[in-house]
Amino acid sequence: MGFLWRTRLRGANEKKITPVISWPESEPESEITIPPEFQCPISIDLMKDPVIISTGITYDRESIETWISSGNKTCPVTNTVLTTFDQIPNHTIRKMIQGWCVEKGSPLIQRIPTPRVPLMPCEVYEIRRKLSSATRRGDFEKCGEIIAKIKKLGDESEKNRKCVNENGVGLVLCDCFEKFSGDEKLTIMLKEILSLLMWMIPIGSEGISKLASASAFHCVAGLLKSTGDTVRQNAAFLMKEILSLDETRVHAFAVENGVAEALVKLIRDSVSSSATNSSLIAIYQMVLQKPEIASEFLEIGLVNLTVEMIVDAENSVCEKALAVLDAICETEKGREEVSKNELVMPLLVKKIPKVSESATRSSMSVILKLCKTENAFAVEEVVRLGAFQKVLLVLQVGYGEETKEKATELLKMMNTQMKLMSDCVDSLKEFKYIKKPF
């Protein structure tokens, strides 16, 4: 027997839920009318989590939150400006709705469970205070309990996560991570902290600075080399944030802890586009801040891996791969290694201006560096690949000054080469008509 549910609105304040059932034609349709006081004024549907706002009107929590988050500052029914956006659970109406659902006993109406009350800032403050106190005392067991509680609250709703994030828990978690990062027995707890920090972005420079301490950095690097893909992905994201501090000591830690090999392995394993993006950004920051580390990346095959990503990766990954290639070309060894790959120049020309402004700028920057190294041969290849027309197009698009400067420099270089090629052709034509002396 098949069922098809249909809702039918009658009037402005009445809703009927009508099951259309494959009974014999003689039996009439059964209808259940939702009492108007149980309907949300916004959705005109049965309220699952009724709350009262400052004007005294009751709405379903999800509907009124969507209304407020859309930028509205008035009550939908009275059009009165809201003095506060606080929502107070209407337990009376909720119990009445639950009782009505049980009374109807219809498969159309399921009893609405008692909703969990969203986390309040004052509760988050108390959690933060307790976690901070336990961290200072070195009480890892208490810290573990509080971390588990934070995770549970975050799993309950996105609103809880937002409340935790907005009330400074991320900084305390960073402090906790630094405190216990030297204890290998607490790896499970440290992984949980890492996971929680992923939905507390941006953590802030103060929190990242705590993660940049010698012991904390060593721990993040260790997790980056672990076997769990999710843990490695989270560690790569944090590593990217730590390296963004551009501090010499941080990049020295990266060399000491073998971060380069771990990041390249994460890219090769294709864990996720997010993990690849984080790894590429971290590599870019390392090479840019410490150019001598480029040789280590060259030894583990980063150039060929980067070229593969430029060929078939999604735009966000391709953009970052081109930036990494540009950073590698800052060194002489890097330019030599990149020029050995025959796919590089055709790919660079192809990506102008297809991916993004950043990718276009990186592509032209790499071409310029390679052309300055290989002189006329590289410039001739670029011209032959049709770069002249593409770079002209870049100047016509509304790109930034830096991109246009790169385009202008590349055009001048190609123009000079084209003129030399033209003069060479003219000379050959002249030579054809010169008689050879005997």
Kindly write down the DSSP assignment for every residue of 333-350, as one continuous string: HHHHHHHH-TTHHHHHHH
Go through the domains of the chain in sequence order and give each one's CATH number.
36-104 (3.30.40.10), 333-426 (no CATH)
| 8 Å CB contact between 154 and 161 | yes
Location of structure tokens 């020295």:
252
- The reported pLDDT for the residue numbered 430 is 46
The residues, any chain, with a CB within 8 Å of residue 292's CB and separated by 6 or more, are 331
| 8 Å CB contact between 180 and 189 | yes
pLDDT digits (tens, 9 = 90+) for 295-332: 888 888 899 999 988 888 888 899 999 999 999 988 88
Cα 305 to Cα 242: distance, rounded to the nearest angstrom: 24
Q: Where are the alpha helices (DSSP H) in 42-157?
A: 61-69, 91-104, 121-137, 140-156
3-state secondary structure 227-292: CCHHHHHHHHHHHHHHHCCCCHHHHHHHHHCCHHHHHHHHHHCCCCHHHHHHHHHHHHHHHHHCHH
Whether pLDDT at 19 is above 50 = no
* Residue of higher predicted confidence among 162 and 191: 191
- Across 27-35, average pLDDT: 64
- The reported pLDDT for the residue numbered 277 is 92
Q: How many other CB atoms are found less than 10 A from the CB of residue 227?
A: 6
Helical (H) or strand (E) element with 107: none
- The reported pLDDT for the residue numbered 435 is 44
* Residue of higher predicted confidence among 106 and 343: 343
Q: 255: pLDDT confidence band, cut at 50, 70 and 90?
A: confident
- C-beta contacts of 32-39 below 8 A and 24+ residues apart: 32/104, 32/106, 32/108, 32/109, 35/100, 37/93, 37/96, 38/93, 38/96, 38/97, 38/100, 39/13, 39/15
Cα 134 to Cα 151: distance, rounded to the nearest angstrom: 17
- The reported pLDDT for the residue numbered 434 is 43
Q: 18: pLDDT confidence band, cut at 50, 70 and 90?
A: very low
Candidate from 195-204, 216-225, 381-390 with smallest mean pLDDT: 381-390
- The reported pLDDT for the residue numbered 166 is 86
Whether pLDDT at 425 is above 60 = no
**pTM of the prediction?**
0.72
Whether pLDDT at 199 is above 80 = yes
Helix, strand, coil distribution of the chain in percent, nearest 5: 65, 5, 30
Closest by Cα among 313, 37, 207 to 46: 37
pLDDT digits (tens, 9 = 90+) for 57-85: 999 988 998 898 888 999 999 999 998 88
Strand partners, 50: 60
- Across 379-406, average pLDDT: 82
Cα 321 to Cα 277: distance, rounded to the nearest angstrom: 9
